[in-house]
Amino acid sequence: MEDKAAKLKEIAEKIKNCKKCELWKTRTNAVPGEGNPNAKIMFIGEAPGRNEDLYGIPFCGRAGAVLDDLLSEIGLKREDVFITNVVKCRPPRNRDPTPEEIVACSPYLDEQIKVINPKIIVTLGNYATGYILSKFGFKAENISKVRGKVFKVTTLLTTLKIIPTYHPATSLYRPPLREYLKEDFKIIARELKKT
Amino acid sequence: MFRALLSDARTWTYIVDALSTLVDEANFVAKPDGLSMRAMDPSHVAMVDFVLPSDAFDEYECDQETLLGVNLDEMKKIMRRARSGDTLEMIYEEAEKRLKLRLRGKTVRTFSIHLLDITAEELPEPSVEFKAFAIITADALQEAVKDAAVTSDHVKIVIQPDKVTFRAMGDLGEVVVEMGKDSEALLDIQASEESAATYTLNYLADMIKVAKAADTVKLQLSTDMPLRIDFNLPGGGRVSYFLAPRIEGE
């Protein structure tokens, strides 16, 4: 446990000092991610927003409140999971991250996954889903096509499941999507029970 | 001290090309009996195990085990500058922590790369009891992977006692490549039971890059278990890959 926490801290330090893309120039804080180093489940979003950038904490704005509710509905707390993003610094004016930014930043996420070694990865939104599905050799399809599906992955060291769902922020401007999120979180709870 | 000479620089170009597809940075281990590298990609889906014994080099000197931490993309860029007929000399400069790559052809070109301090990870070989193997020509594997990619992003490899089959199914069609005992491409085959598993073509497409430097390739698998691919290099070298099977989404 301490070993994993120390490794995650080391990765977080690298992220805080990172200048691999231009986003370091406009960030207030890098947002490495936080949570239980021994978590069975990881939630991966797109990139920090305004509040996350201000406080250096992932999902601490309005989208974070939605995520907290969804977690609570399936009996989970933030301390039970690990939450992070594909891109660790806020893109200016919350624009989409560029492919170059994703390429520069994703090795940090790869390292975090390697250390935590989760049994389930929940991808929130198109960017995280595209990156994680491609990383494990699946076709990156639009989130509306793959949400709620369970992708089984066998690596040389372990097995894990990828469950894509919408980004919680989408339910703020498209409230009907909240129901899909709730459905998908029930699937997450079901799969978590199996681990 | 480490110094090695290859009379055909392109051999190293193909090797570096193949290794760099899985990892960005890795340690080459230079020992008196040869050069090796073992690395796993960040997703843990694939592993590469490379060995080039001292005999495979035209000249080779190494007095003690030396870790050469290399950015493989940088090395690949340099090796792409190699021209047909060039020789390659690699020289480790301990004092400056650099590796010199000297290409000798019509001119003598020397490139230096700074070595990296990469934490050496213990990577045990995946323990799999393989139920079947097939030895095929390297170019036949290249063609089969390219054929499969026409229709899909994954391929099912089936080894039966008398043939090896590559089957790819996409939304719009299917590709089947068969190599039976009467095929020139199939050199040897053995299967204690029919063995089949599905693998991601992206990874296989990267792995077959080393086929340019090899004549034959040995495929080993068991049902729904990792695939092992051994490319034998001229002079006794070997590049082996392990690739985790792909299991479909629910």
- Interface contact B24-A107, CB threshold 8 A: yes
pLDDT in tens, B60-111: 999 999 999 999 999 999 999 999 999 999 999 999 999 999 999 999 999 9
- Å between A119 CA and nearest CA of chain B: 13
pLDDT in tens, A136-166: 878 888 999 999 999 998 888 888 999 999 9
Among the listed residues B129, B79, B122, B86, the one whose alpha carbon sits nearest the alpha carbon of residue B101: B79
Q: What is the mean pLDDT of residues A105-115?
A: 93
DSSP assigned state of A147: T
Residue B125: the pLDDT is 83
Residue A2: the pLDDT is 62
- Residue B248 clears pLDDT 80, i.e. is over it: no
Chain B residue numbers with beta carbons less than 8 Å from the beta carbon of A137 are 45, 153-154, 200, 202-203, 246
Tokens of B17: 């090309």
Name the 3-class secondary structure at B201.
helix
Rg (C-alpha) for chain B, rounded Å, is 19
CATH code at B45? 3.70.10.10
Do residues B106 and B155 both lie within one domain?
Answer: no
The answer to whether residue B121 sits within a structural domain is: no
Do residues B170 and B236 both lie within one domain?
Answer: yes
Among the listed residues A153, A86, A93, A114, the one whose alpha carbon sits nearest the alpha carbon of residue A8: A114
For chain A, positions 74-133, list CB contacts with chain B under 8 A: 107, 110-111, 113-114
- Residues with Cβ < 8 Å from B81, sequence gap 6 or more? B103, B109, B111
Q: What is the mean pLDDT of residues B52-57?
A: 94
The answer to whether residue B161 sits within a structural domain is: yes
The answer to whether residue B39 sits within a structural domain is: yes
Rg (C-alpha) for chain A, rounded Å, is 15
Whether the CB-CB separation of A30 and A15 falls below 8 Å is answered with yes
DSSP assigned state of B167: E
B184 and chain A in contact, CB less than 8 A: no
Helix axes B72-79, B9-20, angle to 10 degrees: 150
> Which residues span the domain enclosing B69?
2-114
Chain A residue numbers with beta carbons less than 8 Å from the beta carbon of B242 are 156
Which residue has better confidence, B124 or A38?
A: A38
pTM (2 d.p.): 0.79
The C-alpha atoms of residue A195 and residue B173 are separated, in whole angstroms, by 36
For chain B, how many residues are written? 250
What domain count does chain B have? 2
Residue A1: the pLDDT is 52
B122 and chain A in contact, CB less than 8 A: no
Name the 3-class secondary structure at B77.
helix
Residue A139: the pLDDT is 80
A145 and chain B in contact, CB less than 8 A: no
Residue B81: the pLDDT is 96
- Tell me the average pLDDT of chain A: 94
The C-alpha atoms of residue A121 and residue A102 are separated, in whole angstroms, by 18
Q: Nearest CB to A156: which of B40, B42, B250?
A: B40
A159-165 β-sheet, strand order: A34-35, A82-85, A41-45, A120-124, A159-165, A151-154
Greatest alpha-carbon pair distance for chain B in Å reads 59
Measured CA distances, A195 to A39, A161, A192 (Å): 12, 10, 5
Do residues B105 and B9 both lie within one domain?
Answer: yes
Among the listed residues A158, A160, A161, A171, the one whose alpha carbon sits nearest the alpha carbon of residue A64: A171
Do residues B27 and B97 both lie within one domain?
Answer: yes
Residue B18: the pLDDT is 84
- Interface contact B44-A107, CB threshold 8 A: no
Chain B residue numbers with beta carbons less than 8 Å from the beta carbon of A157 are 44
The answer to whether residue B123 sits within a structural domain is: no
Do residues B146 and B213 both lie within one domain?
Answer: yes
Do residues B107 and B136 both lie within one domain?
Answer: no
Chain B residue numbers with beta carbons less than 8 Å from the beta carbon of A138 are 153, 246, 249
Whether the CB-CB separation of B88 and B101 falls below 8 Å is answered with yes
- Å between A188 CA and nearest CA of chain B: 13
The C-alpha atoms of residue B161 and residue A98 are separated, in whole angstroms, by 50
For chain B, positions 130-169, list CB contacts with chain A under 8 A: 153-154
Whether the CB-CB separation of A121 and B9 falls below 8 Å is answered with no
The answer to whether residue B74 sits within a structural domain is: yes
The C-alpha atoms of residue B220 and residue B230 are separated, in whole angstroms, by 9
Do residues B17 and B98 both lie within one domain?
Answer: yes
Do residues B23 and B73 both lie within one domain?
Answer: yes
Whether the CB-CB separation of B47 and B203 falls below 8 Å is answered with no
Q: Nearest CB to A137: which of B24, B200, B250?
A: B200
Among the listed residues A45, A19, A3, A25, the one whose alpha carbon sits nearest the alpha carbon of residue A131: A45
The answer to whether residue B124 sits within a structural domain is: no
Tokens of B186: 């199939």
Q: How distant is the alpha carbon of residue B133 from its chain centre?
A: 18
- Å between B165 CA and nearest CA of chain A: 21
Chain A residue numbers with beta carbons less than 8 Å from the beta carbon of B42 are 107, 110-111, 113-114, 135
Residue B246: the pLDDT is 85
- Å between A131 CA and nearest CA of chain B: 12
Which residue has better confidence, A65 or B121?
A: A65
Which ranges of chain B does DSSP label H, i.e. alpha helix? 9-20, 72-79, 138-149, 201-207
B71 and chain A in contact, CB less than 8 A: no
Do residues B80 and B179 both lie within one domain?
Answer: no
Whether the CB-CB separation of B180 and B163 falls below 8 Å is answered with yes
Q: Nearest CB to A137: which of B45, B47, B242?
A: B45
B248 and chain A in contact, CB less than 8 A: yes
Residue A67: the pLDDT is 97
Burial class (CB in 10 A: 0-12, 13-18, 19+), B116: middle
Do residues B105 and B158 both lie within one domain?
Answer: no
Residue B213: the pLDDT is 81
- Interface contact A137-B250, CB threshold 8 A: no
| CA dihedral of residues B92, B98, B102, B103 (deg, nearest 10) | 120
Say which residue the tokens 């250390």 belong to.
Answer: A115
pLDDT in tens, B199-209: 999 899 989 88
Among the listed residues B247, B227, B250, B229, the one whose alpha carbon sits nearest the alpha carbon of residue B239: B229
Chain A residue numbers with beta carbons less than 8 Å from the beta carbon of B47 are 156
| Boundary residue ending a domain (B83, B114, B145) | B114
The C-alpha atoms of residue B30 and residue B45 are separated, in whole angstroms, by 26
| Boundary residue ending a domain (B69, B84, B114) | B114
pLDDT in tens, B214-245: 889 999 999 989 999 999 887 888 999 999 99
- Residue B210 clears pLDDT 70, i.e. is over it: yes
| Boundary residue ending a domain (B86, B114, B142) | B114
- Tell me the average pLDDT of chain B: 92
Do residues B50 and B95 both lie within one domain?
Answer: yes
Chain B residue numbers with beta carbons less than 8 Å from the beta carbon of A139 are 153
Q: Per mean pLDDT, which range of B52-56, B161-165, B211-215 is the poorest?
A: B211-215
Q: What is the mean pLDDT of residues A26-46?
A: 97
A14 and chain B in contact, CB less than 8 A: no
Q: How distant is the alpha carbon of residue A115 from its chain centre?
A: 15
The answer to whether residue B149 sits within a structural domain is: yes
The answer to whether residue B231 sits within a structural domain is: yes
Do residues B239 and B153 both lie within one domain?
Answer: yes
